[in-house]
Structure 1
Amino acid sequence: MATAAYIHIPFCEHICHYCDFNKVFLKNQPVDDYIHSLLLEMKRTMGDHPTTGLKTVYIGGGTPTALSAKQLDVLLKGMQEVLPIKHIEEYTIEVNPDSIEENKLDVLKKYGINRLSMGVQTFNEQLLKGIGRTHTRSSVEDAIARSRAAGFSNISLDLMFGLPNQLPIHFTETINEAIALSVEHISAYSLKVEEKTVFFNRKRQGKLTLPPEEDEVMMYQDLLNRTKDAGLLQYEISNFAKNGFESKHNLVYWNNEEYYGFGAGAHGYVNGIRYQNHGPIPKYLKAIEQGSAPTLHTHEVSPVERIEEAMFMGLRKREGVPFDVFEKLYGRSLLECFGEQIELLQERGLVKVNSDSIKLTEEGLLLGNEVFEQFIAVLSEE
């Protein structure tokens, strides 16, 4: 039974050069109609696939705080009425430093939002312009100060490394500034140049200057060292938190648990079925208006696929995959399933096998994808 929900707000006031998420420019969009349809989707889904209660909710985008304070009020009030969130543990919304005014913070606080995820990416203002961001270093500091004043005590910053023209010293400075702001959580991801982005087109034209691989490795190792020295626990490959502030919602994904996905382009995983909603807003709105599910496609996850996902998602966590949990969930011994692959990875120094679990080594952190692919297309469906 799903106890988590992701809600997608596809509107942005500007489009970042690296972003391939489902999003559109805010201007002239049917925002009010979208909110109405979103709430209808939630209500119908709760009727068709009820749950005893949601423990985590994550509102992402796009840019959720591109909505006006009034629109946020309508959305959050409606969610309060149609979703079982009375006993919610973690209630997150993504915020942009440029669009998180005090009146919006007041609305978020009013409806129980207790975690803010702020897209910062870098504190280097030249790099910010280069990736299409419009905020500045000072606007991030101001946004955090306003958030603290409004009563928010759980703030996460998203950072990126491997950006065009980014030097290791630039990322070191960004890490140091993030730590100095005393936020509870930091997520840091390397740039992936995805299709349908400005960066993809520039790369294809030979106009994108990316750091060499050795610089990216240096940036990541610097991240590990500095967050550790600052007392931030690395609990997943790209995520670091003060004790007790690990993202409960993201752990749902890494633990291969089920969750609802609401909104245009949203993904969900309910009753063994993974699904994706229509991305284009007109198609999403039309499906809701006609009373049908707005799903683009669905996929029933097979037992073998569940096991594969458990490995490449679970190994992202620093605690790894516990043997007893694996066997309880899937009815098979982990070592019986993947003994040969694990032995090979041990020989390469990429995984460590303890008496109770398997986890990535320090070297394995750097070569995670090479580890994960060892667990794909190994087992046969029976």
Structure 2
Amino acid sequence: MGRSMYIHIPFCEHICHYCDFNKVFLENQPVNAYIEALIQEMKEARRVQGDVPVRTIYIGGGTPTALTALQLRTLLEAMHAIFHLEEVEEWTVEVNPDSADGDKLAVLKAFGVTRLSIGVQTFTPELLSEIGRTHSPTSVTQAIETARAYGFDNISVDLMLGLPKQRVEDFSEAVDQALALGVQHISAYALKIEQKTVFFNRHRKGQLSLPPEETDVAMYDLLKVKTKEAGLSQYEISNFGKPGYESRHNLVYWNNEEYDGFGAGASGYDQGIRYQNINPVQKYIDAVTSGKMPRLREHKVPLIEKVEESVFLGLRKREGVEKVAFARQYGVELETLFGEEIEEGKRRGLLEESEARLRLTEDGLLLGNEAFELFLAVLDDEDLAKVKV
């Protein structure tokens, strides 16, 4: 079936106020040494795994396009030399509108990148400033036009809802502008206040003016209506794509499949073990160059946990959990393991069930975490005895 891989580029030319991903300011960072460490980590993975075809690739950050065109070329050229990439179905790179210049896009296209994910967040200038973004609405349009000029026809944009001072009208305009640009995919995420961010510090001091919950709900409802009218299908809680343009790489996560994670702070899932790499850039480089695996932590996923993950991750997808596929994988019916939880979810209006599937209701899409919690840490040894893998 092929491997999937995530590659993390932690460098940013500025730090957004909401971002808690592993990132550092680009200036004075050992970027070339980091790329060489990435390549070395990939070579070790290739040595261990053998020549396994790669199915999907996602390069995220941070800001991958904070790298120069030459640095991008060095990385992508090495990936082709290390891995079997002839059968890649989807190769995504995250792009900042400010750094989507022709030289970089030409490199991405030449080495087989098929999909761009552009961090837009909002088209309202005042809100862009509020969240610490430096691009303008005009630069988004220019980035998409440039991408199309270099042959990219699979473009996704990220939008955010629930931002400080954001009105429903602001979000409505953002969705309209994204759709008017003819993008094939929209990811829309509600703001979460995460620790170690500017927004967390402001929120703790009472200096962050967030919209009320009903405003967030109105934004989300509006998003579902507008994307449907434009021919984009909601295939996951926060993701909407034209037919055939669903993110194949992200479906790897929601289908609870394994993948490789490369780079500082990257996570992976291999042979039943979930792992996270060392976060600090220099410590990651030092670990790799000394011949060590750059692991910060590893977790052997017990079978019970894997079964539960398959349900709550699968419920993120709009199609939900396919009962026949679940029974085929685990040798037991979904209802046999989770009958009480399913009935409770239906009673609370979070879940709906057909002969073939279990999925979230419209209310469940809004209250996904409540539905997921029904399936966390509920199985015991007696249940495990019913599972046959």
* Post-superposition CA distance 1:78-112 (Å, at most 9, x none): 11111221110101100000001101111111101
Conservation of the 8 A alpha-carbon contact between 1:2 and 1:51: no
Matched, 1:335 2:326: no
Match of 1:183 in 2: 183
AA aligned opposite 1:30: P
Matched, 1:240 2:240: yes
* Post-superposition CA distance 1:296-352 (Å, at most 9, x none): 110111111111111111000011000111111122211011100101111222111
* Post-superposition CA distance 1:47-97 (Å, at most 9, x none): 113362111000000000000001011011011111221110101100000
TM-score (ref. length: structure 1): 0.99
Match of 1:38 in 2: 38
AA aligned opposite 1:197: T
AA aligned opposite 1:63: T
Match of 1:372 in 2: 372
Residues 1-382 of structure 1 aligned to structure 2 (within 5 Å): 3-50=3-50, 52-381=52-381, 382=384
Secondary structure of residue in 2 paired with 1:19 = coil
Q: Aligned equivalents of 1:334 and 1:300: distance in 2?
A: 23
Conservation of the 8 A alpha-carbon contact between 1:52 and 1:84: yes
Moved over 3 A (4+): none
Match of 2:387 in 1: none
AA aligned opposite 2:215: D
Q: Aligned equivalents of 1:345 and 1:73: distance in 2?
A: 49
Secondary structure of residue in 1 paired with 2:54 = coil
Conservation of the 8 A alpha-carbon contact between 2:184 and 2:242: yes
Unpaired runs of 5+ in structure 1? none
AA aligned opposite 1:329: Q
Number of aligned residue pairs: give it: 382
Conservation of the 8 A alpha-carbon contact between 1:4 and 1:56: yes
Shift of 1:2: 6.2
Q: Aligned equivalents of 1:50 and 1:309: distance in 2?
A: 28
* Post-superposition CA distance 1:122-148 (Å, at most 9, x none): 000100000000000000000000000
Q: Aligned equivalents of 1:311 and 1:195: distance in 2?
A: 28
Conservation of the 8 A alpha-carbon contact between 1:93 and 1:115: yes
Conservation of the 8 A alpha-carbon contact between 2:345 and 2:351: yes
Which deviates the most, 230-239 or 325-334?
325-334
Shift of 1:377: 1.1
Conservation of the 8 A alpha-carbon contact between 2:2 and 2:55: no
* Post-superposition CA distance 1:258-294 (Å, at most 9, x none): 0000000000001111000000011101111110100
Q: Aligned equivalents of 1:22 and 1:197: distance in 2?
A: 11
